[in-house]
Amino acid sequence: MTAPSVPVKEPKEPLAAAEPAGRPERSLVSRLASGAAGGVMRIFLILIALLWVTPTVGLLASSFRDPTDIADSGWWTVFSKPAQLTTESYSTLLGKEEITDSLLNTIWITVPATALVIVIGAMAAYAFAWMDFKGRDWWFLVVVALLVVPVQVALIPLSALFGDLGIYGSITGVVLFHVGFGLPFAIFLLRNFFAEIPRELLEAARLDGAGELRLFTTVILPLGAPAIASLGIFQFLWVWNDMLVALVFSGADSKPLTVALTEQTRQFSGNIETLAPGAFISMVIPLAVFFAFQRQFVSGVMAGAVK
């Protein structure tokens, strides 16, 4: 089990339970004892699960209450007084142009940053996996070395560089930053996967007269789809959830939702009626991705955690 190289090959069923192998017969007493222990354990796990969902439920409940109720009592009162539930906070929030604009900016940043990393990363990964050129292994080592470079190192240099290029404070700058720091992982993940594609398939296509570009688009990309999906999900969530890069590189009219909400947390204290629905809106897409693509999600997040 090695860190970044595991996921794509292994987690065929990462969320499936592993059944313990058949146990030998036990005496009645030990069965009763283990039954009692099992009961305690089950209760413990249920309590843990409750502990884990409570914070999120609290935010969700708060986002559906109006400010006076929020100031008056805790979110848990909605369970005894469901009449408090209202979508008012959401409509107020979505009525603010600043928020809707920032939501659009999030999309305008996330989609290109994901697409570019996939395309550019896949091209380079293909070259590393199947082309022969001088210093190939050495170059790949460089890419692997760059895997763990913290984004913080680049904040100051790139704000100077982007300033010179005139893209500081624009969506382009934020996208470029994410592409640069998404590439090492993309190349690493995809190269390992592409290298496993059977040689015969490529040779057959080559004999049919396919050029590099056709090989890439008709053989590599379709066969590499599982890895590309994991990468795409990971990169999408990474960019969607990013705050630091956008905080530094976006400007007043290019800031994504995370930055807009951050400003809310700094400007006023305790304006939970704005923060709760805002946070929830920012969570909806990631949660939808999580529930829809659990397998790719888990392998993507597992693989990219070193970042």
Encoded tokens for 177? 């930053």
Encoded tokens for 5? 């190289």
Residue type, 21: A
Name residues contacting another protein, limited to 179-218 (CB under 8 A): 179-181, 183-184, 187, 199, 202-203, 206, 209-216
Identify which of residues 97 and 164 has a Cβ nearer to another protein in the complex. Answer: 164
Rounded least distance, CB 78 to another protein, Å = 13
Name residues contacting another protein, limited to 131-160 (CB under 8 A): 131-134, 137, 139-141, 143-160
User: Judged by CB under 8 A, does residue 261 bind another protein?
Assistant: yes
- Identify the three-state secondary structure at position 27: coil
Name residues contacting another protein, limited to 231-250 (CB under 8 A): 237, 240-244, 247-248
Question: Which segment (21-29, 80-88, 90-98, 223-231) binds another protein by CB under 8 A?
Answer: 21-29
Contacts of 77 (CB under 8 A, 6+ apart): 69, 84
User: Judged by CB under 8 A, does residue 221 bind another protein?
Assistant: no
Rounded least distance, CB 181 to another protein, Å = 7
Encoded tokens for 31? 């069965």
Give the residue, chosen from 176, 227, 228, 231, that forms a contact with another protein under the rule CB under 8 A: 176
Rounded least distance, CB 108 to another protein, Å = 17
C-alpha span between 116 and 121 (Å, rounded):
8
C-alpha span between 240 and 178 (Å, rounded):
10
Number of helices (H) and strands (E) in the chain: give both, helices first.
15, 0
Number of residues located near another protein, criterion CB under 8 A: 127
Strand-pair partners of 169: 250
Identify which of residues 44 and 85 has a Cβ nearer to another protein in the complex. Answer: 44
Binding track, positions 51-70, relative to another protein; x by CB under 8 A: -xxxxx-xx--x-------x
User: Judged by CB under 8 A, does residue 167 bind another protein?
Assistant: no
User: Judged by CB under 8 A, does residue 223 bind another protein?
Assistant: no
Q: Which residues of 192-206 are buried (b: 16+ CB within 10 A; e: fewer)?
A: bbbeebeeeebeebe
Cα–Cα distances (Å) from 47 to 35, 42, 59, 112, 197, in that order, read 18, 9, 19, 42, 45
User: Judged by CB under 8 A, does residue 102 bind another protein?
Assistant: no
